[in-house]
Structure 1
Amino acid sequence: MSKTSTDDARSYRIQIAGTPDGGDRVPDLTPREASERWLSKLRVSKAESTVSSYEYRLKHLIEWCEDQGITEINELTGWDIESFETHRREQGLSPLSLNKELGTLKNFLEYCSRVELVDESLPEKVDPPDVPRDDHVDETQLHADDAEALLEYYRNNTDDRVRYSRDHALLALAWYTGARLGGLRSLDVNDYNAEEEYVQFTHNPDQDTPLKNGRDGERIVGLPSHVCDILDGYIAKERHEVFDDYGREPLLASQLGRVSKNALRTWMYLATVPCLHSDCPHGNERPTCEFVDYSQASKCPSSRSPHQVRTGSITWQLNRGVPPQVVADRVNTSVRVIKRHYDQPTKLEEMRERRQDHLDSLDFDDEGGEGE
């Protein structure tokens, strides 16, 4: 065929535009567009708080790409990822924060690879730094001795306004269930069964009371009788008789209805200040201490958040000999997560556990020993 004939043939070729349905027709998404698509997909199966944490971690990469002029996600290279990691290190990010951020980036790129937005080898080029196990653990918790002192202060108080107070009900529920803040906030009066002595956690996302693990977070948790006595008194004497916006009766109620998460967190800080049961460990006098003010309680070095109460509760339950799987079911997590994040026995507690199970074997008088 002559050159002229070849040119004529080429002139009749039709160029087909790309379409967003895979293969050679994958769209040219910006990093921001790709991340929004991934996060939208996650919202189907994950709690909004989890998705929000992923969004926060990923936004640093998105902003960095925009600063670097990377306009399409398929332009990302291994060198870009290395440069971004160096950039974040230079900003003083802790190893643990960098580990979480790069782990989220890796998950995002695995999604992009799966839908063919990036090369399949790109996710493997993300290398989160190794972090010592202890760095993953927040050792700040409400320790069992402090929890016992606080609960005794409330329980033995001769003033019913204290004994059956909202703060006592909140702390007792949190300590004996190990529930998350969102779970405590979700409880209604009819979720508490005084006769059978339990509370029931129910996922109601359409009524502003979602559970972290959705339907998988629904469960019934038994309560000791003395905790039920407190809840009975609280409901009868101190609970505000109010409804929320959906006609439900929140168990832990403010004067206006269901308490917000921030307010519930503040209630817990107020319920756990140590000067309720003993002298202030920080040298302050309660009448003049700024930390007993509603807006300042979180600043007290010894007050504790709902998560720190949950951490202490889980550790205490384990140390009391409750099997890890039973604890995991009660607090709605996995045994693996408990071992990694929540099981924080002290060296003395670890020794006592080992002593309980194995000390009898360490005796020469036993079979196999020297004998008399």
Structure 2
Amino acid sequence: MPPITTENNLLVYQGCNFLKQRLILSVLSGKPIKIIDIRDNSIDPGLKEYEISLIRMIDKITNGTKIELDSTGTSLYFSPGLLHGGLLTHDCCVERNIGYYLEALIALGPFCKEPINAKLRGVTNSSESPSVDYVKQSAIPLLKKFLIVDDGLEMHIIKRGLKPSGGGEISFKCPVRKNIRAIQFVKSGMVKRIRGIVFGCKVSPALGNRAVESAKGVMLNFLPDVYINTDQNRGKTSGNSPGYGISLVAETTDGVFYGAEGVYDVTEKGENLITPEDLGKDVAFKLIDEIYRGGCVDSSFQWLASLYIALGEKNISKFLTGPLSQYTINFLQHLRDFFAITFKLSNIEEEEEEEEAEGGNNSKDRDRECLQVLMTCVGVGYKNISKRII
């Protein structure tokens, strides 16, 4: 449903979907938003605890933000302040993992006044949102491509924590930039190596080793350069709940990273036993599917690439992705609402057909190419007005 625009530039949305998208774009554009009918027909109406925690985190890195929430929690008014950044310590709600909050920091970090130096505590790995490993493997390299100089961009996992009790902690540092450069990234390259990590918290190391062997058994059929490390946590670094998981990343010759992950929470799953062999095999096939989708970005972070392209310099940017996810499609619609910017989306097959018509028949494998989408737009030339100029 498109937003209702009032006379004072207020955007009014209905429903709880895509709250994080709307908050991020509201802060970047400076446009206030109002969200009504938030789960008004639900047994538990209003904002969830993890959504309130996200709003509080954004409030910590901004100055002058005004937030109004009605008594039932079903109506939110959010008027953004100026991005300040700086030191941030935040205890994330354990209903969502830290990656849910980290995505917002990565999107807003380059446009702050002071470089972000954040410590986030909570659940590091769960299935609801991209985990901290996934973000580190896929989102951080993507951000590096758009920053002219990536000095000061760091992320470290200090302690791991799984659901339901969490206990994990990560540190994240992001530099500030005056603007984001335009980019033309249309070649994904061939996969040259696969790396991964299997972690365990308060469980036997044998479980992780079994997951490693199962995942490698699948991946070695396609590529010889496969290495999966094990990270067995004990004591204070293992969080408050038992469990284990696996995270894989494939790197191509052109610097593209595809990721896949899976986590098994011993406490929460209970009797629904999943063997380490099944977990390793499932994640390996997820990675293969991600590679097949292609493009120059992981499917979970297509929206992040779209944001950087839209806010880039006033020049033509081209970016090749796999099939657009529903989350990305809605993000493009929100970009149009907040920044009045639209993308030209063309199927890669159409351009190949035009080239063939001019230069004769070309016998390329179309199974993968027909799935890919070329995103083209002219950036709005977004400037970080808060960054100090020496």
> Rg larger in 1 or in 2?
1
State the TM-score bracket (shorter-chain normalisation).
Answer: under 0.3
